[in-house]
Amino acid sequence: MQHTVLLVDDQTSVVEGLERALRREPYKFLGANSADRALEILADTAVDVIVSDEQMPGMSGTELLARVRRDYPDTMRIMLTGHATLEAALHAINEGEVFRFLTKPCTHVDLAVTIRHALQQKALMDKARRLLRTVKRQSALLDELERTNPGITSVRTTPDGAIVLDDDDLPHDLDEFMKEINAQAELAEKMLSRHA
């Protein structure tokens, strides 16, 4: 899957220069010469990383990245500015939650590495969200099983972690027991699907 990177600067020559410098990178590059144009692109196109200048007429880069954070939180945000001050950096970090704050002149190698790191961070965050959804789904399934079969999820263990079963807990026919467990799990899964 090819990633999309949006470059935003009010000077078209800067956007074109960045695209030329990064042409060997395996990304689709889009350019915008204003924050408003960048927002139009974001409304129509899924963007993985946005690289924005800070000082632009109309809406500053910090304001743009704050809007991107609010409306497109999965888009990684990078600030690239020629007028770096501590105040500007703090504002960008606090308002736009930028991934990196780079100063001009910035080598194309530094920018390429920063974009690569941003994409790696995005992939990790996406994976964490998927895992969290899986855990929540499994937890809901266990809750449903416990609700319909009280005590089914209770397990007694010894201090070294071994599971303790009483004689009455032992199934007499393992195949029948497994069929019953599978049937209960399927029933709980159907009930969860209906609730979702």
pLDDT one-digit tens code per residue, 77-93: 999 887 655 566 566 56
pLDDT at 177 over 80: no
Q: What is the largest CA-CA distance in the chain?
A: 79
Containing 193, the helix (H) or strand (E) segment is helix 174-195
| C-beta of residue 26 within 8 angstroms of C-beta of residue 50 | no
- Determine the topology of domain 3-127 in CATH: Rossmann fold (3.40.50)
- Structure confidence at residue 189 (pLDDT): 79
**Integer Cα distance of 108 and 166 in angstroms:** 68
Positions of CATH 3.40.50.2300 in the chain? 3-127
